[in-house]
Chains A and B, each alone.
Chain A
Amino acid sequence: MLMTADQEQGRLPGPGITPKPAAPREKAATDPGTSLPAVSTRDLSIFFDDHQVLKRVSLDVPARSVTAIIGPSGCGKSTFLRAINRMHDLVPSARIEGQIRLFGEDIHGAHVEPVQVRRRVGMVFQKSNPFPTMSIADNVTVGLRLNGLRKRSLLAQRMEQALVMAALFEEVKDRLNAPAVSLSGGQQQRLCIARALAVQPEVLLMDEPASALDPLATAKIEDLILELKKDYTIVIVTHNMQQAARISEDTAFFYLGELIEFGSTSKLFTSPSKKQTEDYVTGRFG
């Protein structure tokens, strides 16, 4: 089982959560600095009907750092990302081969529910999608409320924590009951990040989170990511290589469903090993 009984009922993972933003989490044996990768795939292949979208991808995402995934359109980077929180379970034509491990545990294990995986692995999408019928406060706590957490004081505490972590609290603290759709694009995206963080995941997946935002909002999101990586493992898909160079420790380059190169960001962007990577990164892709 991936979750404790407490977690299943939506309560706190452990005693003594402080209101500080960098709340220590007492989940599975993942200490900072250990070599256990947050996400580890082995020979991961994904098919949609007969079309193979990912070809035997083996990759280790280090914990508590930012890993960027780059590549041209259709290279399988979003497919790879969505496999980590089992979003492909919703697609009937999807077939997965190979292994994905979350802190050492197989996410497709015999007794593992997708819902359990998704509570440990959060996701932020390209287009911000706060729920339109709910207020800002309700949006942040929806993941907790709809998983059974009822205690008001706890919800309020988690909501404030999450909004602080998402660098949004100061801007919205006076209008927490306003409709979520009244926020600007950049604020909505930060709200979605707060919503994902409120559930206290261990890994945060981000699918081109800033691609629909103006440069100022983008810069805020990037700054936020640099703060978040102290506590979370972040995997971000981006088509903006300079963004990857700015915020990630490691970068993976995908092309036509294959992992071409994976390495430290500074090396990959100043002197990549593979010619394909060099060609893509310098924009000479034919």
Chain B
Amino acid sequence: MEQTHHRRRKALNACMQGFTCLCAFLVVAPLCLVFYHVLKSGIGSLNWAFFTQLPKPVGEMGGGMANAIVGTFELLGLAALLGVPVGVLGGIFLSEYGSVRLNWAIRLGADVLNGVPSIIWGMVVYALVVVPLKRFSALAGGIVLGTIMIPLIMRTTEEVLRLVPNGYREAALALGIPQWRTVLQIVVRTALKGIVTGVLLALARVAGETAPLLFTAFGNRYWNHHLSDPIAALPLQIFNYAISPYEDWHRQAWAGALVLLFFVAAVNVGVRVLTRDKFAQSR
């Protein structure tokens, strides 16, 4: 009798193990598939020309996405200029200041905004920036990406600041250090790694946003020289090439996708590697 029970239990255990293994695999599999496919399709088109040349006119072979790569970084820079200060300071406010009611409302607003489809952001910035200026611009692109980043950074900053034990705040205040100094030079400094992580992850996320850029940055086949001019960006370029009828452009789109994917992966992995070291310090 006991033998049967025992065998049944072992069988059940093996089933559960197998099932959970399968689920884990099903999670990792799409990631591997994507990587493999993009790598396979894009690696062939990655060459020096891809990184250094502008797109060639329609019909001509060759050319590259140099302006799109640079443009993406430029947009990320502009976005960071807007998103990082506002987001971090907003996160500091939520964590260290404010009242319970007010902060609850702000948090709710931020969470809602995080869920707003990015294309709507694009349309809003189109109406507010592109129309008055009567042109698509890098500025508008930076603004839209920045505003998408704001609630994201605000929430991650707040979460990280909340993790700082209250003991540090109390100790600093008990030394007679004013509150603003305590917040900046003790609390934020302690949480700095986490805040930077949050910022980098937010940047990695908006790096791939395509829809909002359609209405704002618009794309550019040449170098961008002024903030008030349209600017190329990797996702935009990939989109435009992908829906085109040209084989050559398709190959370049895959290459662009590979570069973008690599960038996002690198940031994520890099962030994890950098934050891992410090945790090994604790006794």
A and B touch in the complex (CB under 8 A): yes
Chain A interface residues (CB < 8 Å from chain B): 85, 87, 90, 92, 115-119, 122-123, 125, 127, 129, 131-133, 142-143, 146-147, 179, 181-182, 192, 195-196, 199
CB of A199 within 8 A of CB of B171, answer no
> Using Cβ atoms and an 8 Å threshold, which residues of chain A touch B174?
85, 87, 118, 122-123, 125, 196
CA distance A90 to B171 in the complex (A): 13
CB of B181 within 8 A of CB of A129, answer no
CB of A115 within 8 A of CB of B178, answer yes
8 cross-chain pairs, A with B, having the tightest CB-CB distances, nearest first: A119-B176, A143-B175, A123-B174, A129-B167, A118-B176, A146-B177, A129-B171, A146-B181
CB of A127 within 8 A of CB of B167, answer yes
Name A196's contact: one of B170, B175, B189, B281 (CB within 8 Å): B175
> Using Cβ atoms and an 8 Å threshold, which residues of chain A touch B173?
87, 90, 118
> Using Cβ atoms and an 8 Å threshold, which residues of chain A touch B192?
133
> Using Cβ atoms and an 8 Å threshold, which residues of chain A touch B281?
132, 179, 181-182
Instruction: Enumerate B118-162 residues with CB–CB distance to A below 8 Å.
Output: none
Q: Given contacts A87-B170, A125-B171, A192-B171, is CB(A115)–CB(B190) below 8 Å?
A: no
Name B282's contact: one of A85, A133, A181 (CB within 8 Å): A181
Q: Given contacts A118-B176, A146-B185, A196-B175, is CB(A133)–CB(B167) below 8 Å?
A: no
For residue B165, CB closer than 8 A to chain A, the reply is yes
Chain B residue with the shortest CB-CB distance to A10? B176
* 19 further A-B pairs in the complex, CB-CB below 8 A; given A85-B174, A119-B175: A87-B173, A115-B178, A118-B175, A125-B167, A125-B174, A131-B172, A133-B189, A133-B190, A142-B175, A143-B176, A143-B177, A146-B175, A146-B185, A146-B186, A147-B176, A181-B282, A195-B171, A196-B175, A199-B176
Binary A-proximity of B168-201 (CB < 8 A = 1, otherwise 0): 1011111111100100011001101000000000
For residue B283, CB closer than 8 A to chain A, the reply is yes
Chain B residue with the shortest CB-CB distance to A118? B176
Binary A-proximity of B266-277 (CB < 8 A = 1, otherwise 0): 000000000000
Choose among A85, A116, A142 the residue with the greatest number of B CB atoms under 10 Å from its CB.
Answer: A142
Determine how close the nearest CB of chain A comes to the CB of B94; give it in whole angstroms: 16
CB of B168 within 8 A of CB of A131, answer yes
28 contacts between A and B (CB under 8 A): A85-B174, A87-B170, A118-B173, A118-B174, A118-B175, A122-B174, A123-B171, A123-B174, A127-B167, A129-B168, A131-B171, A131-B190, A132-B168, A133-B189, A133-B192, A143-B175, A143-B176, A143-B177, A146-B172, A146-B175, A146-B181, A146-B185, A147-B177, A179-B281, A181-B281, A181-B283, A195-B171, A196-B174
Determine how close the nearest CB of chain A comes to the CB of B160; give it in whole angstroms: 14
CA distance A117 to B185 in the complex (A): 21
CA distance A115 to B192 in the complex (A): 25
CA distance A133 to B187 in the complex (A): 10
CA distance A117 to B173 in the complex (A): 11
> Using Cβ atoms and an 8 Å threshold, which residues of chain B touch A125?
167, 170-171, 174
> Using Cβ atoms and an 8 Å threshold, which residues of chain B touch A142?
172, 175, 177, 186
CA distance A133 to B186 in the complex (A): 9
CA distance A196 to B181 in the complex (A): 17
> Using Cβ atoms and an 8 Å threshold, which residues of chain B touch A146?
172, 175, 177, 181, 185-186
Chain B residue with the shortest CB-CB distance to A126? B167
Chain A residue with the shortest CB-CB distance to B165? A129
> Using Cβ atoms and an 8 Å threshold, which residues of chain B touch A143?
175-177
CB of A115 within 8 A of CB of B176, answer yes
CA distance A214 to B165 in the complex (A): 23
> Using Cβ atoms and an 8 Å threshold, which residues of chain A touch B167?
125, 127, 129
> Using Cβ atoms and an 8 Å threshold, which residues of chain B touch A181?
281-283
> Using Cβ atoms and an 8 Å threshold, which residues of chain A touch B186?
131, 142, 146
Chain B residue with the shortest CB-CB distance to A90? B173
CB of B190 within 8 A of CB of A132, answer yes
> Using Cβ atoms and an 8 Å threshold, which residues of chain B touch A119?
175-176
Determine how close the nearest CB of chain A comes to the CB of B158; give it in whole angstroms: 19
> Using Cβ atoms and an 8 Å threshold, which residues of chain B touch A147?
175-177
CA distance A125 to B192 in the complex (A): 24
Chain A residue with the shortest CB-CB distance to B177? A146
Choose among B172, B173, B175, B178 the residue with the greatest number of A CB atoms under 10 Å from its CB.
Answer: B175
> Using Cβ atoms and an 8 Å threshold, which residues of chain B touch A129?
165, 167-168, 170-171
Q: Given contacts A87-B170, A146-B185, A179-B281, is CB(A122)–CB(B175) below 8 Å?
A: yes
Determine how close the nearest CB of chain B comes to the CB of A114; give it in whole angstroms: 8
Chain B residue with the shortest CB-CB distance to A119? B176
> Using Cβ atoms and an 8 Å threshold, which residues of chain B touch A133?
189-190, 192
CB of A195 within 8 A of CB of B175, answer yes
CA distance A90 to B96 in the complex (A): 11
